[in-house]
A and B are shown apart, each in its own frame.
Chain A
Amino acid sequence: MAQTTVAHGAAPAHDAHHEELGFWRKYVFSVDHKVIGIQYAVTGLLFLLFGFSLMMLMRWQLAYPGQALPLIGALLGEARTPGGIMLPEFYNELGAMHGTIMVFLGVVPLAVGGFGNFVLPLQIGAPDMAFPRINMASYWSYFLGGCVMLASFFVPGGAAQSGWTSYAPLSDIAGSGQTWWLFGMVFLITSSLLGSINFIVTTIQLRAPGLSFWRLPFFVWAQFVTAFLLLLAFPPLEGAAFLQLMDRLAHTSFFLPSGLVVSGQALQVAGGGNPLLWQHLFWFLAHPEVYVLILPAMGIVAEVIANNTRKPLWGYRSMVYSLIFLGFMSFIVWAHHMFITGMGTTMAAFFQTTTMIISIPSVVILSSLFISLYGGSIRFTTPMLFALGFLPMFGIGGLTGLPLGLTASDIHLHDTYYVIGHFHYVVAPGTIFGLFAGIYYWFPKATGRMMNETLGRIHFWGSFVFMNVIFTPMFIMGMAGVSRRLYDGGASYAHAQGVLHWNVVSSWGAWSLALFQLPFIFNFFWSIFRGKKVDDNPWHATTIEWAAPSPPPHGNFASQPVAHRGPYDYSVPGAARDYSPQWEAVGA
């Protein structure tokens, strides 16, 4: 084996209790990847809750348009909800900020910043990330971006109102909240860039001896590819943000065409710009961003499924090849978001074709995960329930995307509730279920204690049912032609009358979903202090993070772990136990 050929700088063990750090350096301005990971995860979870709350307010207006919000309506102030009734401007703020917060401040920080930071160095047997101080800078840049976004609710005119996509020219001429949105995005993009460089370098450079690329857990692969997407797709959005800032602050016309008339008056600008330029730059980021949202969750689900079926993943190599291909293809499908912008048929045909091609690797990964279940003696633990829930939910999300990728059917479905249903199935019961699986799965590693299983099951079944109650009606409404971003949920449109009642169903689903998050919140805090104490490897898992103490000390491992085998050696014939950890020598 190669373990003796690679000399590491220092055995971290004797450094672990070298010096005691003060409270601020240990828990707040920490450079330890585990603390930063937990900071990311907790901040991300809080933003998920906040973004969800914005949506719960909107769901009232959609279900009962023009009626006063009970209780909360009075608290939001006369400027937003006079007499408890939500103003259209406030509805638009909520919509734009719901999307922004969920994507950029909730899911990505939790999936990449949280799980990536905490788990990836442990899974590859590294003492920390390659650049610990850059890692800290990444978190605080994210934190600042979050503060800017939150502060924007309180500037005159309120937060951004042009949707999370910030389409020009609307966003160019919108109120000052949009400028705050752009500055917030610059901080968030900087954070992602710093993080992605760190993840790639860590994966390439700090793998434990013997841990070749084909021995990496699928989760590490998923984070690795995700990091490349963040690294290469975010800079164009940063460029676009600069251009929009120039339009707003220096009165340039990058996204403003000549002769633009606003509210009956010709806009006094030079003109000559192109609104579609923004869409191209935005979607060049935002389509890879979709895979940034989904790949880490796939990685988590793969780990949990292998562990709970007690079998190696079926088709590990095909899954990795699919992942890489997926990452590459995600850069050349962006214009399928723009089929109805008047692009030529050749362009449309190209992007339609690439979009159909990119579904193939997704299907390979999902099918491999399904086939992995076959013949396993499945343990239905809470993380496994969420992982199993992920499979059909992501499947629905993916399959409903196909009609959107075909130009003919997209003409009807574009910008309707069908689109909302489609991508929420991918991200909400898809990605977020994957993330919940990860929280339940790695909680004992972070705290040394298990989360409560009964509460976990209540959380799962409640979430599973109500996620579907929320999002299935959206397909029906969308196919009936109800547009997204309508202040009254379609009430003033004749063609929407037959499906309006589904708004009420969807809204009650959302509020019920909130109710079923309470067991999770309680479980999370209660288990930190009162959860059942467990040993270092409670799930009898094979990957290297389980070789570290729970919780792992600064520097992670008592001695440098060495990888002797692939990541999923479960139920090896002839072995004494049904799991053969990577860090144990063959024959040991």
Chain B
Amino acid sequence: MSMEIPYTVEARPDTGLTNGKLGIWLFLASEVMLFGALFASYVMLRVGSQNWPPGSTYLNIPLATLNTVILISSSVTMVLAWASIAKHDFKRFRLFMGITILCGFGFLIVKYFEYSAKFHHELYPSTNTFLAIYFTLTGLHGLHVIGGMAVNSYLWGPGSALYKTDPVHFMNRVENSGLFWHLVDLVWIFLFPILYLL
């Protein structure tokens, strides 16, 4: 496979984009449509229901607030990781990328406690439509968190070997992974109010 595809590393002059960056933005657009459809479903179910419970009936707002703080912090460290690699500071990159991954873990651990508390009280997706949409939306979002963590862990670990041979290419990958991570963060920022607060 020696044939080279142009603009994988340097941007095409007239579009100002690398292939990967355009690709990740398009992927994010499709993700917006996916979550957009589910948010729209939430609205339709809620508008059509007789008595929609306030989120606090079932959900733990302080825990979710903690998770919001964790996830927003991880977006900040993600940017710092990218800025570090852009300044060719590999050690700081690993530090901040590591913190980003740990934040992901922290988020999932809190989520685990939330879920198991629900199950403990025999609250399941089948209990009512509010819990159904709660578990579906947070579950799908959780899968996205895991996906983002997997990519970030690869870039923190084995994937970082690319930095030695092609630092610009590696920096692009960190940026693209960061864009996805910010989307995961952004989705949560919508989920938090509609499920917990409103």
Interface membership of B198, Cβ < 8 A = no
Beta-carbon contact of A239 and B37 below 8 Å: yes
| Chain B residues positioned under 8 Å from A196 (CB to CB) | 26, 30
Beta-carbon contact of A235 and B30 below 8 Å: yes
**B33 CB to nearest A CB, Å:** 4
Beta-carbon contact of A9 and B49 below 8 Å: no
Contact A200 B132, CB 8 Å, known A5-B13, A277-B44: no
Beta-carbon contact of B29 and A231 below 8 Å: yes
B25-80 contacts to A, CB under 8 A, are 26-27, 29-31, 33-38, 41, 44-45, 48-50
Interface membership of A79, Cβ < 8 A = no
| Chain B residues positioned under 8 Å from A253 (CB to CB) | 126, 128-129, 132
Beta-carbon contact of B45 and A201 below 8 Å: no
Beta-carbon contact of A272 and B3 below 8 Å: no
Binary contact track A217-242/B, C-beta < 8 Å → 1, others 0: 00000000000000111111011101
**B134 CB to nearest A CB, Å:** 10
Interface size class of B (residues with CB under 8 A): 35 or more
Contact A236 B126, CB 8 Å, known A9-B5, A272-B45: no
CA distance A129 to B23 in the complex (A): 12
Beta-carbon contact of A10 and B27 below 8 Å: no
Contact A269 B126, CB 8 Å, known A130-B19, A243-B41: yes
**B67 CB to nearest A CB, Å:** 22
Contact A238 B34, CB 8 Å, known A243-B136, A269-B126, A273-B45: yes
Beta-carbon contact of B30 and A231 below 8 Å: yes
B108-163 contacts to A, CB under 8 A, are 124-129, 132-133, 135-136, 140
CA distance A254 to B7 in the complex (A): 45
A156-164, A244-252, A456-464, A482-490 - interface stretch = A244-252
CA distance A16 to B4 in the complex (A): 11
Q: Who on chain B is nearest to A555 by CB?
A: B3
Interface membership of B197, Cβ < 8 A = no
| Chain B residues positioned under 8 Å from A284 (CB to CB) | 37
| Chain A residues positioned under 8 Å from B129 (CB to CB) | 252-254, 270, 272-273
| Chain A residues positioned under 8 Å from B3 (CB to CB) | 10, 12, 15-16, 18, 127-128, 554-555
Interface membership of B165, Cβ < 8 A = no
- Pick from B22, B30, B34, B128: contact of A270, CB under 8 Å: B128
Beta-carbon contact of A15 and B6 below 8 Å: no
| Chain B residues positioned under 8 Å from A251 (CB to CB) | 125-126
Contact A270 B140, CB 8 Å, known A8-B6, A130-B19, A281-B37: no
Interface membership of B187, Cβ < 8 A = no
**A281 CB to nearest B CB, Å:** 6
Beta-carbon contact of B5 and A132 below 8 Å: yes
CA distance A104 to B19 in the complex (A): 28
Beta-carbon contact of A274 and B37 below 8 Å: no
| Chain B residues positioned under 8 Å from A272 (CB to CB) | 45, 49-50, 128-129
Interface membership of A450, Cβ < 8 A = no
| Chain B residues positioned under 8 Å from A238 (CB to CB) | 34
Beta-carbon contact of B4 and A231 below 8 Å: no
CA distance A201 to B5 in the complex (A): 12
Binary contact track A542-579/B, C-beta < 8 Å → 1, others 0: 00000000000011000000000000000000000000
Beta-carbon contact of B17 and A205 below 8 Å: yes
Beta-carbon contact of A236 and B37 below 8 Å: yes
Contact A235 B31, CB 8 Å, known A205-B19, A205-B22, A252-B132: yes
| Chain B residues positioned under 8 Å from A197 (CB to CB) | 23, 26-27, 30
Q: Who on chain B is nearest to A237 by CB?
A: B37
Interface membership of B88, Cβ < 8 A = no
Beta-carbon contact of B12 and A10 below 8 Å: no
Beta-carbon contact of A201 and B37 below 8 Å: no
- Pick from B4, B48, B135: contact of A274, CB under 8 Å: B48
Interface membership of A443, Cβ < 8 A = no
Q: Who on chain B is nearest to A284 by CB?
A: B37
**B121 CB to nearest A CB, Å:** 16
CA distance A75 to B194 in the complex (A): 55
CA distance A31 to B1 in the complex (A): 9
CA distance A280 to B127 in the complex (A): 24
Interface membership of B166, Cβ < 8 A = no
- Pick from A8, A128, A250, A280: contact of B125, CB under 8 Å: A250
Contact A246 B125, CB 8 Å, known A130-B23, A240-B37, A272-B49: yes
Q: Who on chain A is nearest to B39 by CB?
A: A239
**A373 CB to nearest B CB, Å:** 36
Beta-carbon contact of B41 and A277 below 8 Å: yes
CA distance A175 to B4 in the complex (A): 49
**B88 CB to nearest A CB, Å:** 24
Contact A6 B22, CB 8 Å, known A235-B33, A253-B129: no
Contact A236 B6, CB 8 Å, known A131-B23, A246-B136, A252-B132: no
CA distance A238 to B41 in the complex (A): 13
**B177 CB to nearest A CB, Å:** 16
Contact A127 B5, CB 8 Å, known A234-B30, A250-B125, A250-B126: yes
| Chain B residues positioned under 8 Å from A198 (CB to CB) | 23
Contact A254 B41, CB 8 Å, known A197-B27, A270-B126, A272-B129: yes
Q: Who on chain A is nearest to B24 by CB?
A: A197
CA distance A231 to B19 in the complex (A): 16
Interface membership of A193, Cβ < 8 A = yes
Binary contact track A391-412/B, C-beta < 8 Å → 1, others 0: 0000000000000000000000
| Chain B residues positioned under 8 Å from A340 (CB to CB) | none
Beta-carbon contact of B4 and A9 below 8 Å: yes
Contact A252 B125, CB 8 Å, known A130-B23, A197-B27, A232-B29: yes
Beta-carbon contact of A231 and B6 below 8 Å: no
**A70 CB to nearest B CB, Å:** 47
Beta-carbon contact of A236 and B33 below 8 Å: yes
Binary contact track A273-288/B, C-beta < 8 Å → 1, others 0: 1100100110010000
**A125 CB to nearest B CB, Å:** 11
CA distance A554 to B1 in the complex (A): 9
| Chain A residues positioned under 8 Å from B15 (CB to CB) | 204-205
| Chain B residues positioned under 8 Å from A231 (CB to CB) | 26, 29-30, 33
Q: Who on chain A is nearest to B1 by CB?
A: A31
CA distance A274 to B42 in the complex (A): 11
Given A206-B5, A246-B135, A272-B45, list of 14 further CB < 8 A pairs? A127-B3, A128-B5, A196-B30, A201-B19, A231-B30, A232-B33, A235-B33, A235-B34, A240-B37, A242-B136, A250-B124, A272-B49, A280-B44, A281-B37
22 contacts between A and B (CB under 8 A): A5-B13, A9-B7, A9-B8, A18-B3, A127-B6, A130-B19, A193-B30, A196-B30, A197-B30, A206-B5, A206-B19, A233-B33, A236-B37, A243-B38, A250-B135, A251-B126, A253-B128, A254-B45, A270-B127, A270-B128, A272-B50, A273-B45
A: which residues have CB within 8 A of B?
5-6, 8-10, 12, 15-16, 18-19, 31, 127-132, 193, 196-198, 200-201, 204-206, 231-236, 238-240, 242-243, 246, 250-254, 269-270, 272-274, 277, 280-281, 284, 554-555
